[in-house]
Structure 1
Amino acid sequence: MNYDHVLLPSGVASTPDEADEYLAGQQGLAETEVVAELAAVLNRRNGELPEADTFLGTESVGGAATGAVLQVSCPYDAIGFVRNLLFEIATPREYAVYDPQLAWLIDPAGRVDITVTHGGAGEFPYVTKALLDLWIPALVDPNPYLIAERADQVYIQTYRDPVGVYTIEYRDGSPDRHFGTTADDPSEVVALIWAWATGAKLADTDWKRIEFEPEQRR
């Protein structure tokens, strides 16, 4: 059984239902030049590997009458690698990555290029307001956290506890510039992380400096 990702043009859908409708509408249409180019890159990269290390769930991708859409299947143990590769080749071509299993539409429109670690799904190369609106309310055990990192020692993170309270912390270059607060409302958490990501002033909430033990000051 394989795991599917779908590449589709940025902006053609804003919800999973719209994405599914767009995919259905592309069936039977001639493959576009961009899709052929994306498929060629994936097939070449896959073909460069020993057979035991290949990452496609099919012999090749592309060459089908799917219009501006490209479906990419992979084994479950290659999900992280394939997703990172799709971002690498799709984002510069203004293509979104749709994960139908999670019902996540990851569109680069309006993105901020920072490293984001989602506790349940791994790393992503950018964040958008729409992704924060999707991810933050749905953080659940066993890894209910999200970290957005601009540089070493420059990040913001949140953790949702079992009763739904969020701890939000940000570090501005060193342990001496590490502050935290809490919130019950996920929309407040989204607003804080998005403000930080875009370089806007953080809301005047109850930020407290967090003190670390000497052995933790790294």
Structure 2
Amino acid sequence: MSYDLWLIPAGECPTPTAALAYGEAAIATTGADTAPLATQLAAAINAADDALDGDGVLSVKPITAQGDCVFVPSPFSLIHEARDLVLPLAFAAGFMVCDPQNGIVLDPRTSVPAAVTVNGDSRYPVVSPDLVDHVVSRLAVDDFVIVETAPEFYVQTQRLGPESFALEYRAGSADEHYGTEVSSSAQVADAIHGWIADDDTSYRDLTWEKLDLNFP
């Protein structure tokens, strides 16, 4: 099964919805002239995949530009590796990375480097507001999300019940590790948005308790 990433010029799409629509239109257009920047990006991805010495992540090679977009297929089992390879190259070229399977858009204008883990089995090398909204809104009971923006700097949440979420953040050391409980996914998403924007106004007034994870 193939897992696709759509690379779309960020300047063409002001919103995630617009980006997904733009990609769909590009797929439907045949014979369009290829844009030089898209051609260069496709070549860079092919070269980076070649450099993996037989452990490449592309399920079709070489990939080519389609109009001003690049569509990157990979085996479903290698999607994490494909994200790791494609995202830095796409962002450096000013392209959004769209995940049409999940309706997620990672935008270089709003994303920051991070290690994002969702339930231990899905990973992203960057975090964006759109990704936060997507994963938090879909948390089932016992599901969790961790967003680490630097070593020992992270915010995490786990859904405890229909209207109960554990929320924690750690700001560099055990002395700066706090937890609380909130009642809605909107509060969780707002807190993570603030964390990645380095703006605590969305979560500083919650009732935080310092956590002691040192076991005797």
| Same topology, TM > 0.5 | yes
Q: Does 1:210 align with 2:214?
A: no
Q: Alpha-carbon deviation of 1:49? A: 4.2
Supply the distance in 1 between the matched residues of 2:51 and 2:7 (Cα, whole angstroms).
Answer: 22
Structure 1 residue 120: Cα displacement: 6.0
Task: Give the strand-richer structure, 1 or 2.
Answer: 2
Matched residues in 2 for 1:155 and 1:46: separation? 31
The one of 24, 34, 37 aligned to 1:34: 37
Between the aligned residues of both structures, percent identity stands at 28
Letter in 1 for 2:104: W
Give, in angstroms, the shift of residue 46 of structure 1: 2.7
Query: 1:119: how far off?
Result: 2.7
Tell me how large the CA RMSD over aligned residues is: 2.3
Q: What is the rounded CA distance, in whole Å, between the counterparts of 2:172 and 2:52 in structure 1?
A: 40
Once residues 52 and 114 of structure 2 are traced to their aligned partners in structure 1, the CA distance between those partners, rounded to angstroms, is 29
TM-score by length of 1: 0.84
Whether the aligned pair in 1 keeps the contact of 2:117 and 2:146 (CA below 8 Å) is yes
Consecutive unaligned residues of structure 2, counting only runs of 5 or more, are none
Unaligned runs of 5+ in 1: none
Contact 1:13 1:22 in 2 (8 A): no
SS in 2 for 1:160: strand
* CA distance 1:89–1:121, change in 2 (3 Å): farther
Aligned to 2:105, the other structure's residue is in SS state: strand
Deviation of 1:44 after TM superposition, in Å, equals 1.6
Give the match for residue 134 of structure 1: 134
Aligned length: 210
Tell me the distance in 2 between the aligned counterparts of 1:118 and 1:76: 16
Amino acid in structure 1 at the alignment position of 2:43: A
How far is 1:180 from its partner?
Answer: 0.6
| TM, length-normalised to structure 2 | 0.85
**Mapped partners of 2:52, 2:115: distance in 1:** 27
**Aligned counterpart in structure 1 of residue 56 of structure 2, from 54, 62, 76:** 54
- Distance in 1 between residues matched to 2:52 and 2:189, nearest whole Å: 40
Residues in 1 aligned to 2:41 and 2:20: alpha-carbon distance in whole angstroms: 20
Q: What are the equivalent positions in structure 2 for 1:1-218 lying under 5 Å apart?
A: 1-11=1-11, 12=13, 14-16=15-17, 18-26=18-26, 27-28=29-30, 29-51=32-54, 53-63=55-65, 66-119=66-119, 122-140=122-140, 144-201=143-200, 202-214=203-215
